[in-house]
Structure 1
Amino acid sequence: MKPSLLLLTMLLSGAAVASTNTTVYPMTDMTLANVGTIHIGAPLTELSKNGQQLKIEISGVQPAGNNQVIFLGAKQRIVLATLNADGVKALKTGKAFTDAYGNQWHSVTLTAQIPNQVTAQQQQLWTEAAQLKDRSCSVCHAAPVPTQMSVNAWPSVVKSMGGRTDLTQAQLQLLTSYYQYNAIHK
């Protein structure tokens, strides 16, 4: 199912309507002028809803010296958002910590207004991604399962294989997110 058809199906079924302070997930990458890009499947906390706009909070971590990317965790380098200058200015920096390798990190949160193109059921995204994987990856080889690699290995694998397919950038991002969120978390 294409992302736009998935969105329409969810809207008609009521699945895209989330209540306040629940976790919701973007159904596509969202590029916002005042933030940057929030990536498909990123966990967001819905703070309030006003018509077709949601006020959300995204929480994650950033390595010292890189304030343009919000990661899910220091060990789990899933990119939740890539920020522009306005997004960087809107960041709230939290507690600093050091990872097992001596790298400095800090927690961050960002509050933003986004279109109500979210789902409360992340699994719906992964179902679509698994179908896409089964159709596309298995043309040349056995379709890999997410637990074959670590969360940090999947982006480069999907990127290298994606060039050999007719998948769109949106489909490749969906696959990357699917593999990362369902990978081995070491």
Structure 2
Amino acid sequence: MKKRYLFLSLFLLASFVQAKTQYVTKTLPTYSTTEDAKASGKILPTTPLEVIKTQDGKAFVKLTGWNKGKMTRILYFSKGERIISAAFSKKAKYEVKVLKTEEVGTKKDQWSNVTITTWIDNKELTDDLNALYSKAANLYEKNCGLCHAKHPTKEFSANQWPAVIKGMIPRTPLSKEEGLLVTQYAQKHAKK
């Protein structure tokens, strides 16, 4: 009898240990099932997620974030800010669970804290968010002061940074993927 409880306790402990937070290092496609070859969405760099299980080279993951209003196809990093963590196509199949809903801002916009589960390729994940931010900061430092004085990340709000960076990327040697990483970094270190 004691062996059975010990085995059950170890199994439950292993289940909890397995679900740890990891971060996306590059834009990852999402899939509705493990058999899908065509992507149904994407998850952007620095997005936190939990790997629930792996199968056939793919990982079933849980994302936590915010939806604005009834727009469940876009997952935002935080409420009231347009820091996109993931976006899904109209045909994508994924599960959304609403945790709570809040009114935000003077317009009383409805924002829902949600979890979304979906499949991704089981790659391009890291446990070390600081290393990812360090890489982004280095890219920002080396490329975003070539033509002018570098703007401190706190100079603009999270909602302003995408337009600022989009206008500057063509003048730098940054790839599109590096530009997305720098944008996520700037937004997540922006003024509040």
Give the aligned residue type for 2:135: E
> Contact conserved, 1:44 with 1:57, CA < 8 A, in 2?
yes
2:169 is aligned to: 162
- Deviation larger for 45-54 or 161-170: 45-54
Give, in whole Å, the separation in 1 of the partners of 2:92 and 2:47.
Answer: 16
1:111 is aligned to: 117
With over 3 angstroms needed to count, the CA separation of the structure-2 counterparts of 1:89 and 1:112, relative to structure 1, is closer
Give the aligned residue type for 1:147: K
Q: 1:28 aligns with which of 26, 29, 34?
A: 26
1:9 is aligned to: none
Give, in whole Å, the separation in 1 of the partners of 2:77 and 2:96.
Answer: 15
Q: How far is the alpha carbon of 1:90 from its aligned partner?
A: 2.7
TM-score, normalisation: structure 2: 0.77
2:53 is aligned to: 48
Q: How far is the alpha carbon of 1:81 from its aligned partner?
A: 0.3
1:92 is aligned to: 97
Aligned residue pair count? 167
Deviating beyond 4 angstroms after TM superposition, the runs of 4 or more aligned structure 1 residues are 49-52
Unaligned runs of 5+ in 2: 1-16, 33-39
Q: Which secondary structure state, in structure 2, belongs to the residue aligned with residue 82 of structure 1?
A: strand
2:143 is aligned to: 136
TM-score, normalisation: structure 1: 0.80
2:75 is aligned to: 70
Alpha-carbon displacement from aligned partner over 1:10-46 (angstroms, at most 9, x marks no partner): xxxxxxxxx6221111110012243410111011123
Q: How far is the alpha carbon of 1:163 from its aligned partner?
A: 2.3
- Deviation larger for 99-108 or 37-46: 99-108
Give, in whole Å, the separation in 2 of the partners of 1:89 and 1:49.
Answer: 16
Radius of gyration: which is bigger? Answer: 2
Give, in whole Å, the separation in 2 of the partners of 1:90 and 1:139.
Answer: 44
Q: 2:156 aligns with which of 149, 166, 172?
A: 149
> Contact conserved, 1:78 with 1:151, CA < 8 A, in 2?
yes
Give, in whole Å, the separation in 2 of the partners of 1:162 and 1:127.
Answer: 19
2:88 aligned with 1:83, yes or no? Answer: yes
Q: How far is the alpha carbon of 1:129 from its aligned partner?
A: 1.3
With over 3 angstroms needed to count, the CA separation of the structure-2 counterparts of 1:86 and 1:108, relative to structure 1, is farther
> Contact conserved, 1:68 with 1:88, CA < 8 A, in 2?
no
> Contact conserved, 2:94 with 2:117, CA < 8 A, in 1?
no
Q: How far is the alpha carbon of 1:167 from its aligned partner?
A: 1.9
Q: Which secondary structure state, in structure 2, belongs to the residue aligned with residue 67 of structure 1?
A: strand
> Over the residues paired in the alignment, what is the CA RMSD in angstroms?
2.0
Give the aligned residue type for 1:64: G
2:183 is aligned to: 176
With over 3 angstroms needed to count, the CA separation of the structure-2 counterparts of 1:56 and 1:89, relative to structure 1, is closer
Give, in whole Å, the separation in 2 of the partners of 1:166 and 1:99.
Answer: 38
